[in-house]
Structure formats: structure tokens, C-alpha cells
Structure 1
């Protein structure tokens, strides 16, 4: 066993998981064993070794683990992929809980009373019932001690409550505790999913018949249904699309939480970029990303369009500007001509900053092709360009330009001809 590439696993079996007030869990009773878990160990190897350590038969048990950042949630793993996820999110050790496998039964008898408590005609009534349930769990659930004991080792399956009632309920025990988790859902959701699946089947036929035409996308009725679902699930979401010759052409999506998060907590700087889409339809994927207070990337919006042309960028940026509520922002991008034209038209040329990484790549290509050869010479030139770009004061910028001009006058001329007011810190208007 390679101990350097292993973590230590705490195995818990036969006891009771007890939730604590601080959202932690405590394991009482049973047995605890330890074992080393290699980074390349398969799920089957792990189960075999763990059962050997605990002296149990693997057929009657399931394996769960907790994450360091959320030790109150039990994560079940059943295969190599789950095993890899556990190892990836565990550092020096992992806590693994071996639980008896539950059996399934249908809801009947006294459980019907519980279900009737959740049989409502509207979403508002359901929310009120859930709220009252939180205030008085035992009385509203109407659970007898006998029902609790039956559910301790079983999982309750959904059952029809009343003829015509769309609501269903499921219940299952949490681990080996006496805590009962109740889930309610509405059957109408299933019909929406069925419509989506039917739409996807129609879309597949549509793709097969139009495979040679890269401008043909999904049918508009499916697009409208998906767009409506996005808004229903997250009110305030902006989901818009356009058609050309009866076919899908442009899509813009900005989730409500992204819009509000940007307006309330992000700096007024937005980076836009694009990438080509592969597959039979081609097209391009546009994105708009901001930066939060910790310099983390914060997605705002994305779009799917036909290509990276002026019309598509103008359409995408118009939609983006519409969600900013007149907030003045700085746009960062590469120097694609379509972007230069559309950004200056909508946000103003003074609010457009060029991505320095792209500028530096262009400068590096120029150095290679026109000026000098050799790795050291190139690195020296790039370092001088960094001094020009990151100079905070005008005096520092002048000194950095003089050093670059002394090193190579052609390189200094290239800088002057490539709009340093859009990428050099001391020259940018919006500081």
C-alpha cells in the first residue's frame, strides 16, 4: 500500500447516527475500524476490504460518507465513480458509515392520514401546510409511534391520496435514526417532463432530416417550453430567443440569481467571450462573466448564436445591457472587430478594456515574426511589456516606454499603435 497516495478511512457500523444542534452528526454505539484507502482503489476492492475489516457480509449493507464542508449530509456511493468522488473531496481522512439496506413497502393504513394532510388544491395551501408542519411536526404529520418504528427500517413509496388529487408523498428514514424525512411532489411535473421528452424526440427527427443544414436548430415549440420552464422555476430569469426562416437562431439566458448577484455584490466589470460549437449545427456560445469581491468568476449570462458576427454580438449585448438596470460597467474582451463595434455602440468606447492576455499574445507573435529570435530575448521583451501594462502612474508608464524603446524601437511603436489606452492601467479612462 502506497501510504503517500492514500487516505485514512474511519469505518462506522452497527451503531446509531444522532444529529446534533450544530448541523453535525454523532455516531453512537456499534464498532469502529480503520483502514487505508488508496487513490486508485476500486469500489469493489474497497467493499471487500471494508467488510473484511468489519466482519460483515456486503450484501445486506450500503456505504455512505460525509464531506468535510457539510458533515451533516450522508453521501451514498455504489460504484467506481462515486468512489472517485469521495477520494477527490476527502483530504487526509474520510468518515464512512456502513448502514443496513432498507426494504420497500407501499403506503397503507395509518399512513393515509399523513397523506391526506398534504392533499391540497393549490401551491399556496401546500406551502401553508408545510409551514405549519415545521411549527408542529408531530401533530400535523399524525405519525403514531408504531408508524415511526415501522419506518425506521423501511422506505415508504408514493401512493395515490384521492381521486383527482395531483399531489403525492414519499417518506423514508434517515440512516438508522428515528428521524423521518417526508417528501411531497406534484404529478403535473411529470407531464412537463414528458412533454420535454416528446419534444426532444421530435427534435431528433428534425435533426436527422436537416443534418446537412448547419443553420437549423431545435424546433421553436420545444424552445418555448424550455424557456417557460426556466422562468417558472426561477422567477426573474430572462430567457429569450429569436428565429430566422422559421428556425431557432439566437438564444439568451440570464438566471435571476445571477442578475441579482451581479447587481448586489459584484464589481462593475464584465468579461465577454465566445467559443465555437461542434456538432451538426455549429454556431457559437457567448458568455458574460463578472468578478465578485474575492476575485472569483461569477457567471451572468450566456447565449447561443449562429456565428461571431456583428449582428449576433449586438443582439447578445443588447440583451445583456437590458438586465443591468442602467448600471455603468466596463466590458473586457478580445479585439474581435464585431465586438469592438458593438461594445462601443452600446457601452461607449471609453468603457471597453482589451484583455491583456490576448494583447500579450499578439505582441509575442509580433516579436517572433519581426523583431528578434531566441527565448531569452522574447522573455525580456514580454517583461518590458508587462511593465508598460501594469504601470499605475503616468510617470511610471513613461519610464517603462522609454526602457522598451531603448530595447527595441519597433516594439515601442507597436505598443503605441495598438491602443494602450484600452489595456495599460495608467492610460485607461475608467480607473
Structure 2
């Protein structure tokens, strides 16, 4: 190749740009052509370039790209490197070389917002984003915590802000207290006074910074321990967008990027695990669900006529799925009280999606799932969509009482179910009430205050309600005012206009998590099918058990009535008019058997006769069953479980997109075998080295050839 000349296009004054596929291109500046060959020395080349661009020979370096490799610039540092460059491009008439001035922190822009790179010509290595770039990536993170009085929407929002604040300000912290009502953190360096405390503000739902000492004496320099700030989920959330555009994003590049962009020191394993989670979230969740669920919707409607299965997808592979089986809808409308609990929760086995559920209670007070939906997040739009689907699934028109946590999205109720009643969950109310009591309260006093709140919830008359409020006020005036400000008309039997029949909270999240208890992380299709199987089993087992009942009332209602009848026999009953009676115990109550009312209001609230009404029935030899709500009758209970949820065959069969055969001829998917999967990660393979033991002295850390022991 001696004497072979090529034309070198010398470019200077521009900057490198990182493309979406990870390759690099040069943008801007000016270009000149020069003839070079394998006999030319580096000094001669630099001399010509110096005069061409009016540069000092010692102030620039020369770089080029290998053929078919636009990712890594190669540095020409001696004559041998120059000859090699000519040889690499011998089959071409031209080659591009780039003149980079030896200025620290030369910026290389990137079309990917969070993946910029820079070239440091001093050490001839590719470096990831300099300090100026870091400030752009972490913009405003150093001011995420401003001081006392700063408000956050929740404890999670505060922890997220604290995490970013620590990264931007280069220090480590640890939690002293960390729960939904209070968070206290301090610097990990011993004797450093930095400390922060935040908790829920009184009478409000906001999470507020109450105390902070923002003085650091530790120097605030992150070491290798900084990797503790980068959890696997956090790394995945940071790199997910770039991984979507650059699938070959290597773990070592991830570690380098995070170190330069955020100042975090990660090892290879951490970067790999973060990439693994990000890939899983990108490719194994929404896209797979959008691919499989249309087929599943068709199978549900085909095998269970009258059911509702709706799937709505978007171009970004987002989706929302709603299902209500005909057997559940029929059973709710004909055999369950008009009471629905609305819940939003995530399953422990798969927290990528939110589940919106509408559940009822049967005559035995067991949970009765009516409909559920899978969405990507809980917001007003998804709640509205869920409620619209739920309303369209019902065939009977009746006033329904809804119980919820009263959080985001459920204000949509009044827009969709205009004639309904909306109450707050007892569990949600007690949780918020407990959060208002700080650490100065003993557990005994907290339990006592919760008992007083329960009395206010279950109170059926105004005087009973205010008696419970006064009991709270004797311990804390602020807590009493908080209870009165929490809209008692939405949770107390005294003022609530809907019918809850003695039910105040839902166990839907607990029930669904008990049902979906697998040893692996299931897909959306698998989760929905597991729920279908559980519902199918539930309908069958309850129908079979109710066939053995001989009483008119379901067992739990019959037992309660019989217990109350014994108490009612000691009460005095006086007849006032047809159907109107006066019953005396500690107080005097009026019972009207025609309207099924008692002045104690417990008959109206629970649907079962109170002890005053039972006393009247014992006095008049009346039939108790006739005065109970129909929803506690065995006949009505059997209606709730009268229909079956039909099996769906071939649920393991994948959706077929092959144009050469149909889904019916597509080979079935192999079921996953029981037990822990015996799979190994494709990258990286983490090698665990066995400790070396000396066969001479039996000490770990060396072998007999390097042993310094004098023993034989």
C-alpha cells in the first residue's frame, strides 16, 4: 500500500451529534481537502492542518471513524496510527478526519434529550456529558427541597423530591422514620447536622416539611456508596426513554452516563438489572397486553353471552380493559343489595397496572365482584371511562349506593350515576384520622379515639353522633373539628342518605391479592384469566352450599336475629294503634310495622329488624322473615349465584398474526411448568469465584506456591 494516496476531508469548528441509533455525526464548522498517504508522518499532517485552519500544532488532536462504525471516534496519536487509518480506508478514495481543539469539556450535542456525550481531547477518550450538561439534566433538582412549610401531595412525592435533592447536592441520607404519615431523614455522615422532618399537616391532606437543618459539615461528596441512591426501579425510569430508541444501550454505558450526568457510581450488575427492568416494562407489558387482549375479549363474549368485555388501546401501546361477566351482573341486580364499593389498587405480583374494581356484598356479607378494569394509572379520565362501562353493563335501573375512599377520580360518580348516593369508606376515614395524631399520643389513647370515631360512624341518631364527638373533643379539640369538617353526611349513619346495610369498607384489594398469589410475575391476560377462574369457582361453591340451607334467612342473618330475639324478650311493648307500638328499654322507641321503621333508626339502616321491632313481633306473634330486607333471604342469595361463569377453552393459545394460517390452526402455547424457572440472564454472566485455600498451611487467600509459611 506504499504510495497509495487518499483524499482526507478535514473538518474543524463543528461538534459531534449523537443519533437515535447510537451512531455519531459531525455538524457545523468548515472543511478542507488534503492528500495523504501511508508514507506521510503525523507531524507533516499536523503542520498542513495547522496552516490550513490557522491553529497551533499543540492545541488540537485528530480523530476518525472506522468503516461501518460511527459510534467511537479513533484518535491518531502517532505515525503508526496514521498509517493504520490510511490502510482502513484504502478501498475508498476519501476519508473524513475531525480536528478537535484540546479544550476541556467540549460539548457534543445529542438528539436524544438525556443521552448527550462529549469528547475530551486531552485524554483521547469518549466521555459522557460534562458539568454543564449535568446541570441541564438535573435542572432544579438542587431546589426540590426549599424549606419549612413546603407542601407535597403525599409522602411518596416528598421522598421522590428528597431523592433528587440528594443526588443534585451530592450527599447520602438515611430514613429515621418513614411511613405514609411522617418521614424523617438525616445525613449518613456521622456528626453532620443535616436533617429534615415532614408529616401530614393538621386538618389537611398535604404533606408538609415541618423541620429542616440544611447545614452540611460532611463535604457533600458522593463516593462508591452513592450507588445506594440508584435503586433498580429508579435506574430503569431514567434510562427507559433512551433504551426505547437505542435497544443496544450497554450496561457499562449506562453506568458511565449516570456517573457523569447524575454523579452516581454504579457497578455493572446494578446497571444491568436496571436495564433488565426497563426492557421488561417496555416490551413485556403494554405491548403484549394490547396484542393478546382483543382475542380474549372475543372469547369472553363468545363463551359467556351477555358479558361485557371492552378494550380501548392507543398508538403508544397504552390500553384500558373492562370486563363484567353476565353471571355476576345478573346476580348483583337480582340477588345483592344495591351497594357497590369502588376500589383502585395494584396487585403485589405485578405493580405495573392499576385495577379499578366494583364489588358488592351478598346476603352472607361476603365480597361479590361485579366488574373490574385494568388501566395504566388512576385518574379522572380512567375512572369516568370505568363508570360509563359499568352503567352500560346494567340492565335494571335502580338507585345504587357507592362507597369509596373519596380520592381522585370518584367525583365522576355524580356525572355518570346521577341518582346514586356516594359514601366514604370507614377504613379510609380511620386511616386519615389516625394520621392526625402525632407521636405524642400513646397507642392506648389512639385506640380509644378510634373507638369514639367508630361510635360517630355507627350512630343512627343526632344525639348519639354528638355524644361521640364530645368524647373526642375532651381529648383534642382539633381532632373533633377535623371530624366535623370531614363531611359526616358522607360516612355517618346519622346523616348519610344512602343504604349501606351495615357495610362500611371494602376488602377488594385484599381479596384480589389473595387470589393472584403466583410464584412468578404473570401477564395481564394471565391475571384476568386467574380472576375469571376464581369467580367461576366462587359462583359454583356458593351455589352448592346454599342448596343445603333450610331456613328462610341466610345463616348469618338468622343467627343475628335469633340472638337479638333473646334480648328483645325483656322489653316492654305497648300497642298504640294499628301497626304502631311503643317499646321501652333504657329509652322509649316507637315502632311502625307498616312502614318498617323504628325511632332508633337501626331497622332502616341495617335492613334487619332491631331489638325493638323484634320485641313487637314476639308480642304479636308476627313472622320475622317478612320484616327483613329481601337481600337477607335464602331465596335471594340463591339468585345471586344462580348463573355460572363458563370456561374459556384454549386460553393458553397465543394471538395469531401469521397471514398463512388462522388462530385455530396456530400451534398452542406451551404451559409454564411448576417451580422456579431455570433460566440464566443473557447478559451479563456474573462469575462468583471460589476462594483459594493453601494446601500447605490451610489459610485462605493464597496457594502453596506463594505460601510463606515455614511449616512442612
TM tier, smaller: 0.3 to 0.5
TM-score w.r.t. the length of structure 2 is: 0.29
Q: Answer with 1 or 2: which has the greater Rg.
A: 2
Normalized per residue, which structure has more helix?
Answer: 1
TM-score w.r.t. the length of structure 1 is: 0.48
Normalized per residue, which structure has more strand?
Answer: 1
